[in-house]
Structure 1
Amino acid sequence: MLLLVFVGTVVNYLDRANLAVAAPLMKNEFGLGPVELGFIFSAYSWTYVLANIPGGWVVDRCGSRAMYACAIFIWSAFTFAQGFAGRFATLFGLRLGVGVAEAPTFPVNNRVVSIWFAQRERGFATSVYLVGQYVGMAALTPLLFWIAHRFGWREIFFFTGALGIAWALIWYAMYRDPEHSKRVNAAELEHLRHGGALVDRKSGAQQQRSFPWRKLGVLFRNRQIIAICAGKFASLSSLYFFLTWFPTYLISERHMTMLKAGSASAVPFVAASIGVVAGGLLSDWLLRRGASVATARKTPIMTGLLLVPTMTLAVLTDTNWIVIAIMSFAFFAQGVASASWSLVADIAPEGMVGITGGAVNFAGNLSGIVTPIAIGVIVRATGSFGWALGLISLFAIVAVLCYTFLLGEVKRIEIDGDAGFEDEAKAGNVRAAAQDSVDETRV
């Protein structure tokens, strides 16, 4: 099941980042400047962030199997159609469609890890599917650049779209929740229950009929959620730089050819893949050694984020292999910091894993709107990427402050019959009793 989630994430990020490979050729055909290119890069995120919370809610109601299969099929169809785009507006609209359809991805991933893995195994399991963000680009970026060089940029979208449609069918055929899987025996189910996995929980469809606006309000007022959302927004700016502008940076700033840029682009993604696994293993190791959940989860996050600003050292050298080494180390650090997704699985209220993941993904991926456009504006104003790298480094420091001073204790949020609504109910009872006392006095 973890392998299925991993490959799904590979396909997901391949369809996010394929535009970065096509952009150096596409911008000339469409006559796009840096700012226009920034808007195209960010188009996906506009609808992605808006659809994340409802997407997470749908995952909680409908489960992972059918929901994810439909999502993969739809976004892959939009990806395939981008190969026919003939102007800016068409491409922009199709990228908006990809964003809507990809919204359930991380809520599904988070839900799968929450129900298939005990808490002490969750950090590594999370790192495995997160590494799919980078492995796909590391392995396939040179292939995509070769396709663009040999056949043209349109064939990139035909290839990645067809790959996704095939994977949608495979996911639907193979994925099952633990209680519905014929491969799971009673001993494994008991291990999951005892280890804190959210197995055998009622689906959101059984628990609620309408969108949980009230619960969502309580969720967004929670200190842990606020901290993770703010930290995610700040930390994802480095990821979006590599997913959008990095190939263009290598070609325009470092004057690499298409094929050389394809090979060079893959190296930081390999480093980030290693960083993701290292962060997950470190988190679980600390937890097994008796560290608190907060310490075990925060340590790799903070370590990684503090190292991301090393990317600014690239402005000090004209040697391309040194630039790639610097960028690879910075992206490795960003991979280590991605262990923050295991925090979401640790704090999400029962029955709301999907919508909690959607809320965090909503806030974090606002960076996908801000970062590409901000880089485009900076590049047009300055003529180089130096200040853009400084902005990304500043965001990483802001993320460190969020996780250090705002997050606080890491514990599962209780909603409904739990803490948030119990306290509210008690307060209401006190107010009602006080009003009754006043009424009796008046009488």
Structure 2
Amino acid sequence: MSYRRGWIAAFLFSLAMINYMDRVALSIAAAPIAREFGLSTVSMGYLFSSFIWSYALFLLPMGMLLDRFGPKRIAGWGIFIWSAATALTGAAGSFASLLTARLVMGGGESCSNPVGAKVIRQWIPASERGVITALFNSGSYAGPAICSVLLAFLVGQYGWRLSFVIAGGIGFIWLAVWLCFYGSPEQVRWVGDQEREKILRERDTKGAAAQGGEAQGLLALMKTRTLWGLALTQGCNVYTQYLFLTWLPSYLQATRHLSIGKTGMFAAVPYAVSVVLCILAGRLSDMYVQRGGVASGRRRNAVALAMLVGSVILAVPFTTDLSLLLVVFSITLTGIAATTSLNFALLNDLLPSARDVGKAMAFVVVGGNVFGMVAPIATGYVIAATGSYDWAFGIAGLLLLAGAIITVTMTRRPMQA
């Protein structure tokens, strides 16, 4: 049998990959940008964080637009805006213009996670949701892995401006393919009748959701303990993710004395490892939840375990050997990558109506990015105050431990007001 829905997984993986390539491009070019514009660590912290301000601001409106207009149009407009902003970053002539480009980029990128959740709910049988969500999320780690090598080379050889132009251009290629081929499973002609029937029959969790069920709306969902638990879990996890995305290259250069080129190679390895292991974690979670039923919410236990794995970041201040540090970073990134994908899958598991996916996903991602917004700025202040990155890693590890407790205590019921 042909599983052409695999092309949907490829779309989602590449969407997340491009999204995070554009996010991490600034981190790779941080050193030459800071020198050119005379920026301190605190100023760089605000610049790293800036795209999250608009990203978080537009998430809920984007989720509502997505539920109304569908993923094809919303993803199309979103990637057009953020790719153009990324490319134009290469023309920035001041701190203000850099900040403006990052704010526009963040607004465009706010479509990505809600679109991913909506597409998965439309296209993927419930029993495959964990692994496909993991594939989608693993793109956000493949992006930095590729970007760390490719853009580090471009920055080293041709300067930082060209790297942004190339990163932005990749998004327009994805947009052209998306507009040509994407549609709902009920509409597209490239899926066979047998596969289409399977998708429509099995894409909802029995007992917890119905594709045609009555939507509750965001205000009703916000009255549930579960939605807040998912959002807080996401926040505790995303703090560490953005610590890595924004400050890892600077950490490696400042404390481990690696060049830009070597930093790119070093940073790529743990991101690449996390891609493979995140997908494996998604598959194992699907097998685990099938025993008690997807709607049981058992996936919360896998989320908590993944956060405990990620908390190995607490060992970073005590790790002096570079090879061992690589292992610690790989384990940590695997844990936070798996947490995000499993938490997103848990949201779909516990959401009563598919018509609320965009709004609910947007709310959870907002929760995550409130923490993510703080991470680059707080890290800048920590470094300035202590002259060290040790407490930056310590704060991240403690938040992961807190998130593990939150997910097992606050996500025990379907989201029904």
TM-score normalised by the shorter chain: which range applies? over 0.9
Match of 1:441 in 2: none
- Alignment match, 1:311: 313
Match for residue 102 of structure 2 among 60, 77, 95: 95
Amino acid at match of 2:136: Y
Determine the C-alpha separation between the residues in 2 that align with 1:244 and 1:28: 17
Query: Which AA in structure 1 matches 2:140?
Result: Q
1:363 and 2:367 correspond = yes
What displacement does 1:201 show?
A: 5.6
Of the candidates 26, 30, 41, which is equivalent to residue 23 of structure 1? 30
Match of 2:350 in 1: 347
Tell me by how many angstroms 1:292 deviates. 6.0
The answer to whether the Cα contact below 8 Å between 2:30 and 2:250 also exists between their aligned partners in 1 is yes
1:300 to 302, 309, 317: 302
Q: Partners in 1 of 2:349 and 2:295 — Cα distance?
A: 8
Query: Does the alignment pair 1:192 with 2:195?
Result: no
- Within 1, Cα distance between the matches of 2:320 and 2:120? 44
Q: How does 1:20-419 map to 2 (within 5 A)?
A: 20-197=27-204, 215-290=217-292, 293-294=295-296, 296-338=298-340, 339-348=342-351, 349-409=353-413, 411=414, 413-414=415-416
SS where residue 90 of structure 2 aligns?
helix
What is the alpha-carbon distance in structure 1 between the residues aligned to residue 267 and residue 171 of structure 2? 22
Inter-partner Cα distance in structure 2 for 1:115 and 1:295? 20
Q: Which SS does the other structure have where 2:186 is aligned?
A: helix
Q: How many residues align?
A: 405
CA contact (8 A) 1:305 1:334 kept: yes
- Higher mean alpha-carbon deviation, 372-381 vs 274-283, is at 274-283
Unaligned runs of 5+ in 1: 415-419, 421-443
- The normalised TM-score by structure 2 is 0.93
Q: Is the 8 A contact 1:279 1:337 kept in 2?
A: no
Q: Is the 8 A contact 1:283 1:299 kept in 2?
A: no
Write the letter of the residue equivalent to 1:23: A
Asked if the contact 1:282–1:300 (Cα under 8 Å) also holds between the matched residues in 2, the reply is no
Structure 2 portions without partners, runs of 5+ = 1-7
Q: Corresponding residue for 2:11?
A: 4
Change (3 A) 1:294 1:335: farther
Partners of 1:135 and 1:269 within 8 A in 2: yes
Deviation at 1:202, TM superposition (A): 7.4
1:333 is displaced (CA, Å) by 1.6
In 2, are the aligned partners of 1:45 and 1:99 still within 8 Å (CA)? yes
Q: Tell me, in whole angstroms, the C-alpha distance in 2 between the residues paired with 1:405 and 1:195.
A: 29
Pair 282,80 (structure 1): closer, same or farther in 2 beyond 3 Å: same
Post-superposition Cα deviations, 1:156-183, rounded to whole Å, max 9, x if no partner, equal 1011011112211111111111011112
Q: Which of the numbers 1, 8, 14 marks the counterpart of 2:21?
A: 14
Aligned counterparts of 1:297 and 1:389: Cα–Cα separation in 2: 27
State the SS of the aligned residue for 1:318.
Answer: coil
Deviation at 1:237, TM superposition (A): 1.1
Letter in 1 for 2:231: C
- After the TM superposition, list the runs of 4 or more consecutive aligned residues in structure 1 that deviate by more than 4 angstroms: 198-203, 291-295
CA distance in structure 2 between the aligned counterparts of 1:258 and 1:9, rounded to whole angstroms: 24
Q: Is the 8 A contact 1:231 1:400 kept in 2?
A: yes
Deviation at 1:293, TM superposition (A): 4.4
Which SS does the other structure have where 1:139 is aligned?
helix
Q: Which residue of 2 aligns with 1:428?
A: none
SS at match of 2:189: coil
Task: Please tell me whether the aligned partners of residues 18 and 143 of structure 2 are also in contact (alpha carbons under 8 angstroms).
Answer: yes
Deviations 1:194-215 (A, max 9, x none): 3244999679xxx9xxxx9x83
TM-fit CA distance, 1:245: 0.5
CA distance in 2, matches of 1:189, 1:27: 52
Is the Cα contact below 8 Å between 1:131 and 1:277 reproduced in 2? Answer: yes
Q: Which amino acid aligns with 1:329?
A: I
User: Following TM superposition, by how much is the alpha carbon of 1:147 offset from its aligned partner in structure 2, in angstroms?
Assistant: 0.2
Partner amino acid, structure 2, of 1:371:
A
Aligned AA (1:402): I
CA contact (8 A) 1:179 1:200 kept: no
Aligned to 1:432: none
- Listed one character per residue, the Cα deviations across residues 97-122 of structure 1 (whole Å, up to 9, x for unaligned) are 01111111111100110011111111
Distance in 1, Cα, partners of 2:334 & 2:228: 26
Letter of the structure 1 residue corresponding to residue 159 of structure 2 = G
Provide, for residues 377-420 of structure 1, a one-character-per-residue CA deviation record: whole Å limited to 9, x for no partner: 000000110000000011101111210212212x3x35xxxxx4
User: For the Cα contact (< 8 Å) 1:275–1:334, is it kept in 2?
Assistant: no
* Native 8 Å contact 2:232 2:403 kept in 1: yes
What code does the residue aligned with 2:102 have?
A: R
RMSD of aligned alpha carbons: 2.0
Whole-angstrom CA distance in 2 between matches of 1:325 and 1:258:
20
| Bigger Cα Rg | 1
* CA shift digits 1:111-138 (9 cap, x unpaired): 1100111111111111111110011221
Task: Write the deviation string for residues 16-51 of structure 1: whole angstroms up to 9, x where unpaired.
Answer: 111110111111111111111110000010010110
State the 1:314 CA deviation.
2.1
Letter in 2 for 1:355: K
TM-score (normalizing by structure 1): 0.87
